[in-house]
Amino acid sequence: MPQMAPIGWLSLFTIFSVTFMLFSMMTYYSVAPKTPKSEISNKHLTTSLTWKW
């Protein structure tokens, strides 16, 4: 069974590392938040300022 040269292992490592990084970034940035935070904070602010005497 032939041995693999060190440059072959290095190229395989870089290819797999770049593939893993690209896959991770694609899955991270593909998820969008469902509700903006500005609507939640404005809703909470207006409900807390209404006084019921």
pLDDT at site 2: 67
Higher-confidence position of 9 and 42: 9
Least confident of 11-15, 32-36, 38-42: 38-42
Domain ranges of the chain: 1-31
CA geometry: angle at 13 spanning 11 and 14, to 5°? Answer: 65
Please give the full DSSP string across 11-46, using - where no structure is assigned: HHHHHHHHHHHHHHHHHHHT---SS-HHHHHHHHHH
**pTM of this structure:** 0.51
Q: Which amino acid is at 50?
A: T
What percent of the chain has pLDDT above 70? Answer: 58
Mean pLDDT, the chain, whole residue set: 77
